[in-house]
Structure formats: structure tokens, C-alpha cells
Structure 1
Amino acid sequence: MASKAPVPEHPMISARRVEGSAVFNQAGEQIGRIEDIMIEKLTGQIASATLCYGGPFEAAGGRFPIPWNCLSYDLIHHGYVVDEARVRASPHVDLDLFGGDLPWRDADHHWAAPPYWYGAGPPPEPHR
């Protein structure tokens, strides 16, 4: 008999609960936490998360923009999983220097991740 994949008890989560969530490497070791998420205003899609990395880069700012589609949720640990080697290879961001979305677009390029809007169609017109 085939086993079913685990299903979350609650499939939706508040942004307040995502912020502060643990982030693990693929071995299940906690490497940091989600500090912030970036939401596209018109579509409401989550574009990226800011990982506050607890490793050796903490002194250098330790914040890394990670495309949302490069994180996966772990039902056992109740946190997110990311490839730590790719985090270590990515440029960290001083969020005090960047106010806009520049680092988030660079993150998509570094991670070779399709943009969050890929396949979503054109964004809706803004309300005026």
C-alpha cells in the first residue's frame, strides 16, 4: 500500500507567522530564520523572503534575499528548507542601503529561479 504525502493541518499561514519561522538546511539543521517577505502589490504573490542567516556571515549583515519558489516547507520541523550551499554562494544584502526591489531581482538571477510571476499572466491593472 502506498503511503500518502503529509498534508498540513492548516494550508494557509499569516505573514506574521512566516516572519520569524525557522529555516533549515537539507540535513535538517537550523541555519537561520525568515526575517521578512516581499509581496507583489498587484497580484498578491510572495516574491521573495529575506533569510537572516545564522552562520558565519552574520557579522557581514547575514541577510539574503531568497526567491520564494526556492524555499520548501518541512512539515516535520515546521519551518522552511533551503540549499545552504547556494545561500553561502549568494551575495548578502544590506537592507539599509537598498530600499527598492533591486536585490530581489538580483536574487532571482543568482538562484536561476524563474521570476515569481512566471506563468501567472499579466498583472492586474492598479486601482486608481
Structure 2
Amino acid sequence: MGSINPQGDTRRGAEIVGGGMGEGPGPDIMAAATLDGNKVMSSDGEHVGKISDIMLDVRNGRIAYAVLSEGGFLGMGSTLHAIPWSALTLDTDEKCFIVDITAQRLKDDPGFDKDHWPTMADAKWGESTYSYYNRQPYWSATHDVVESDPAIRPSEH
């Protein structure tokens, strides 16, 4: 009891699969810019877009979202989607990300355009975004651990 199953823990970072261990920093620690432009595949094997930005939660020192650019030509007219970092798997063999959602479900997410970004620090927006990708928001993880662990939480008696 108390051990965490990495596959079942939706509050972690992105998983890494493949044998692509090269020289230098990757793949466990990488410059965010090296991931920009990486293609993204859906869980059902469709190419759904590319990573256009990686959004940092500056106060908490975490990656909050990867922004997927879907469609469009050279960035014009493309729909952007904020994807929780924990909903992605980096495949080092294929040099791409796999998002844990079907292509149709991604397309059904209205997303946003480059001139109208959502307020990503808004908790309600963040919770609904994480929920859409079946992930628990990373910012609620610490609260839940304290609430559910009798060794940490003082007894009510």
C-alpha cells in the first residue's frame, strides 16, 4: 500500500518510451525549444498536429501544458489546443508525442486561436481542460495526498 503505479498516476509528467537515448541531455531533461515542432499522434494513430509551445507554471516550477497546433498552413488559421503535460508520451524512437486521446475527441475540443488565448491560470478553465483529457490537475495532487493520508492529516478524534 502507498506505492504509486506510474501508469495509473495522472498527476505525473509525460511518460517516455523508446530506445532513443543519445548523447547530451535528452530525453529525461531537454530544452523546451527542442520539442517545438515535434509531431503529435493521437492514441488511435492519427497525426493530429505539432507542438507549438510549452507553457510553464512559473510559480510552481512545473510544465502546465503543451500547446498543440492543429491544421492550418504555416501557423495561419490553425486551431490551438492546450494539452496537459501528463496526457502526453514522448516516443523517442518515432521522435513524436502521443496524446492519450483519440483524434476525433481532439477535433471535438474547440481549442482557441493564436489571437485569443484562454486565461490559463484560471483554475476552472484548467480543471475542465485536465478533465477533458482524463487527467487530475497537478496543482490538486498535493492537496489530495494530504487529505487522504492519515499519517499526514491530523486525526479528527
Please give the TM-score of this superposition, normalised by the length of structure 2.
0.60
Task: After TM superposition, give the deviation of residue 35 of structure 1 in Å.
Answer: 0.4
User: Contact 1:65/1:104 (CA < 8 Å) preserved in 2?
Assistant: no
| 1:46 equivalent among 60, 63, 68 | 63
Q: Deviations over 1:37-81 (max 9, x none)?
A: 1111122211111101138xx986421111111111112211100
Cα distance change of structure 1 residues 6 and 36 upon mapping to structure 2, 3 Å threshold: closer
Match of 1:89 in 2: 108
User: Contact 1:61/1:92 (CA < 8 Å) preserved in 2?
Assistant: no
Identity of aligned residues (%): 27
Please give the TM-score of this superposition, normalised by the length of structure 1.
0.72
Question: Within 5 Å, which residues of 2 pair with 1:73-112?
Answer: 73-82=90-99, 83=101, 84-98=103-117, 100-101=119-120, 102=122, 105=126, 106-112=128-134
Provide the C-alpha distance between the structure 2 equivalents of 1:6 and 1:34, rounded to a whole number of angstroms: 19
User: Contact 1:19/1:34 (CA < 8 Å) preserved in 2?
Assistant: yes
Q: Deviations over 1:79-122 (max 9, x none)?
A: 1001223211212112312363159614223223211224346x
Provide the C-alpha distance between the structure 1 equivalents of 2:110 and 2:53, rounded to a whole number of angstroms: 17
Provide the C-alpha distance between the structure 1 equivalents of 2:134 and 2:45, rounded to a whole number of angstroms: 24
Match of 1:34 in 2: 51
Amino acid at match of 2:94: H
- Bigger radius of gyration: 2
Provide the C-alpha distance between the structure 2 equivalents of 1:60 and 1:104, rounded to a whole number of angstroms: 23
Provide the C-alpha distance between the structure 1 equivalents of 2:132 and 2:85, rounded to a whole number of angstroms: 13
Provide the C-alpha distance between the structure 2 equivalents of 1:36 and 1:111, rounded to a whole number of angstroms: 18
Match of 1:125 in 2: none
Match of 1:15 in 2: 32
Unaligned runs of at least 5 residues, structure 1: 122-128
| Structural RMSD (CA) | 2.8
Aligned residue pairs total: 115
